[in-house]
Amino acid sequence: MDFLQPPPTFRVESLMTDLWQSSPFNPANDDAYHAWRDAKLRDYPDSLGALVVDIADPFALSQTEREAIRTRVAKCNLAIYRLRGHDHARAGNPLRAITAQLGLEEIDHNLGAGEEGLSALSPGGSAHEPFAAYIPYRQAAIGWHTDGYYNPPHRQIRSLCLHCERPADVGGENALWDHEIAYIRLRDKDPEIIRTLMTDGVMTIPARLEGGQVARPERPGPVFAIDPRDGHLHMRFTNRTISIRWRQDAATREAVAALKELLEAPSPHLFRGRLEAGWGLLSHNPLHTREAFHDQLPEAKRTLYRARFFQRMTF
């Protein structure tokens, strides 16, 4: 199912036309936008600690734990879980058990992931040898991005979940920023920025080659789009300066400059923190970064497991 975008670039049925017209993310729908914006910003958390949920048994979430996760994800598109009173090391990786209880089944079996669809974000952790040099499997810093920005429209990553088995000895902190807040800041600055970033083909990821052959074709698309499944706002973005091609016109240059300026500015809505052993992230794929990190011993590597899904969480 393609991205839902403003006319005339989208070719969808009348039901989707109605979805676009009534959406608060339609730049022409000011009334719906301001109602949604006021509710979004009301009582918005001001610290990462407010997003932490303690879990006693990850294989059997209580109703209280599920509700605590739900309220945080509904508000901020992310929650942090922390295993308490449970021998997670002995019981094994709980990420698939937790995500299954939140309705997540459509996992992205990308090439770097293992048989369960989990990617080991650790130096040399890729299941696909050509990916070993890719930045998620190295110790280098990763700039602002959303996961799967190079995927086709029908395989967009709507949920990103992480579980930390072992943190780095030094570094590895993440910054997390709700993409809906980024949308608000840009729309309040100038709705034309949003119109531009919703245009199909405004951002293109060039084709990936392996052995001189096209392993993945180029992926054009918008930055912001309305999800045709449920009307939620979706974002695809990377702040990298190579392996990306922006549409060449004045409106795009101004919109991209505004977005990048926003990402570099301080914000009370930005969360920073590091996942410790037994901690995890449950999210709807917000903007995020990763600091560079260092391990003291090669046999004791920082290891996080990542699961990416084509659907949002259900509670």
What is the per-residue pLDDT for 111? 80
What is the per-residue pLDDT for 315? 83
Instruction: State the CATH number of the domain containing residue 92.
Output: 3.60.130.10
Do 109 and 38 fall within a single domain?
A: no
Do 114 and 7 fall within a single domain?
A: no
The last residue of a domain, from among 267, 285, 307 = 267
Summarised one tens digit per residue, pLDDT across range 186-222 is: 999 999 999 999 999 999 999 988 888 898 999 999 9
234 domain-assigned = yes
> What is d(CA 116, CA 88) in angstroms, rounded to the nearest whole number?
18
301 domain-assigned = yes
> What is d(CA 105, CA 311) in angstroms, rounded to the nearest whole number?
8
Do 202 and 243 fall within a single domain?
A: yes
Summarised one tens digit per residue, pLDDT across range 217-254 is: 999 999 999 998 899 999 999 998 888 999 999 999 99
298 domain-assigned = yes
Q: Which of 150, 144, 71 is nearest to 110 (CA)?
A: 150
State how far the alpha carbon of 223 is from the alpha carbons of 14, 186, 201, 310, in Å.
23, 12, 9, 17
DSSP annotation of 133 reads: G
Q: Give the CA angle between residues 120, 108, 2 to the nearest 5°.
A: 145
Report the percentage of the chain scoring pLDDT > 70.
93
What would the two tokens of residue 165 be? 């088995």
Identify the band that residue 110 occupies on the pLDDT scale cut at 50, 70 and 90: confident
The last residue of a domain, from among 245, 267, 289 = 267
Summarised one tens digit per residue, pLDDT across range 59-104 is: 999 999 999 999 999 999 999 999 987 565 556 799 999 999 999 9
Residue 1 has pLDDT above 70, yes or no: no
228 domain-assigned = yes
Do 37 and 58 fall within a single domain?
A: no
CB 56 within 8 A of CB 62: yes
Torsion of the alpha carbons at 84, 88, 93 and 95, rounded to the nearest 10:
-10
Do 229 and 251 fall within a single domain?
A: yes
Compute the average pLDDT of residues 154-166: 96
What is the per-residue pLDDT for 235? 98
State how far the alpha carbon of 126 is from the alpha carbons of 114, 246, 304, in Å.
8, 29, 12
Summarised one tens digit per residue, pLDDT across range 277-307 is: 999 999 999 999 999 999 988 778 999 999 9
Residue range(s) defining the domain that contains residue 192: 1-42+181-267
Do 67 and 166 fall within a single domain?
A: yes
Do 81 and 173 fall within a single domain?
A: yes
Identify the band that residue 131 occupies on the pLDDT scale cut at 50, 70 and 90: confident
Rg (CA), the chain: 19
> What is d(CA 124, CA 133) in angstroms, rounded to the nearest whole number?
8
Considering its fold, how many domains does the chain have in total?
Answer: 2
Identify the band that residue 7 occupies on the pLDDT scale cut at 50, 70 and 90: very low
Identify the band that residue 115 occupies on the pLDDT scale cut at 50, 70 and 90: confident
Do 10 and 84 fall within a single domain?
A: no
